[in-house]
């Protein structure tokens, strides 16, 4: 039996990470590299990608970059071909590119709504669909980043609710269709995560941060480290029989309403 508790859980693996130049995606890519994976960092801003890749290399890991807009299927396809040429068959596809801005439906333009749908949902489809021919079979793994908005309507987040709900059903469909070939597909659902662009936008003041925190049963924000550890588990042999799952890492936020929390302080 393989030793799933060895130090390098992803030794010899190749990971393609969209949204890998910053935030949660960057930290996940770093964790993959720490455990032996060669990573391709994908994003729109080359300077961020370069800085993230240099950090991985300076720590002894292997990383390359591709400046790509995930809404462009052709560009994503070319980045995957480059990854295959540099590193070999791809074992892991992490879809982490995302967009968000708070706005009511009546204050949101069709282009604004479409932008988030295209980055999140279409971007996930593009990465997964284009990666199919390059994925190791069996043994390939697809992981997408969702959000509580996928299952809970949230004011000022109609675009994100629609996009993330679509991502979860897309990933479930991939789990069914690609499972017979040995490809797994899962989602992770982060809750409020500290030191991320998303939380800086959604909770820009200390008062807003405290209000969000008061609605989390564990009474704290999550960390990028915790999400990286969860992603590592799901993309490792330790999760070899897990597919079509949505793993929630939100401190319990999705379980309760503000009223319930207030009554049980």
pTM: 0.91
Question: Which parts of the chain register pLDDT below 50?
Answer: 1-5, 258-265
Is the Cα torsion angle 24, 9, 235, 132 positive or negative in sign? Answer: positive
Comparing CA positions, the residue from 151, 212, 156 lying closest to residue 187 is 151
Q: CA 210, CA 198: separation in Å to the nearest integer? A: 16
What pLDDT, on the 0 to 100 scale, is given for residue 6? 52
Comparing CA positions, the residue from 197, 98, 186, 184 lying closest to residue 149 is 98
- 139-180 pLDDT, tens per residue? 999 999 999 999 988 899 999 999 999 999 999 999 999 999
Annotated catalytic sites, by residue? 146, 164
| 14-263: CATH number | 3.40.50.720
CB atoms within 10 A of CB 240: 14
Comparing CA positions, the residue from 44, 75, 73, 41 lying closest to residue 57 is 41
Is the Cα torsion angle 151, 153, 155, 160 positive or negative in sign? Answer: positive
Residue-range domain boundaries for the chain: 14-263
Q: CA 84, CA 110: separation in Å to the nearest integer? A: 37
Cα distances (angstroms) measured from residue 31 to each of 13, 15, 127: 13, 11, 20
Beta bridge partners of 141: 92, 184
What pLDDT, on the 0 to 100 scale, is given for residue 260? 34
What pLDDT, on the 0 to 100 scale, is given for residue 265? 35
What pLDDT, on the 0 to 100 scale, is given for residue 257? 53
């Amino acid at each position: 039996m393989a030793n799933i508790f060895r130090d390098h859980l992803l030794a010899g693996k190749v990971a393609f990470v969209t949204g890998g130049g910053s935030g949660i995606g960057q930290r996940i890519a770093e964790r993959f590299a720490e455990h032996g994976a060669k990573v391709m960092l994908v994003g729109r801003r080359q300077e961020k990608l370069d800085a993230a890749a240099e950090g991985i290399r300076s720590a002894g890991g292997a990383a390359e970059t591709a400046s790509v807009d995930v809404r462009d299927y052709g560009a994503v396809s070319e980045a995957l071909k480059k990854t295959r040429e540099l590193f070999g068959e791809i074992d892991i596809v992490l879809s982490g590119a995302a967009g968000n801005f708070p706005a009511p439906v009546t204050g949101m333009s069709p282009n604004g709504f479409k932008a988030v749908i295209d980055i999140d949902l279409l971007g996930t489809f593009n990465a997964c669909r284009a990666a199919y021919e390059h994925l190791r079979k069996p043994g390939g793994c697809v992981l997408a980043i969702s959000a509580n908005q996928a299952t809970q309507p949230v004011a000022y987040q109609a675009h994100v609710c629609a996009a993330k709900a679509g991502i979860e059903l897309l990933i479930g469909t991939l789990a069914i269709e690609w499972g017979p070939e040995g490809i797994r597909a899962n989602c992770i659902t982060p809750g409020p995560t500290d030191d991320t662009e998303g939380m800086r936008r959604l909770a820009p003041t200390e008062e807003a941060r405290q209000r969000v925190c008061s609605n989390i049963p564990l009474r704290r924000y999550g960390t990028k480290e915790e999400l990286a550890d969860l992603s590592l588990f799901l993309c490792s042999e330790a999760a070899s029989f897990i597919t079509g799952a949505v793993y929630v890492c939100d401190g319990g936020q999705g379980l309760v309403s503000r009223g319930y929390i207030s009554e049980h302080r």
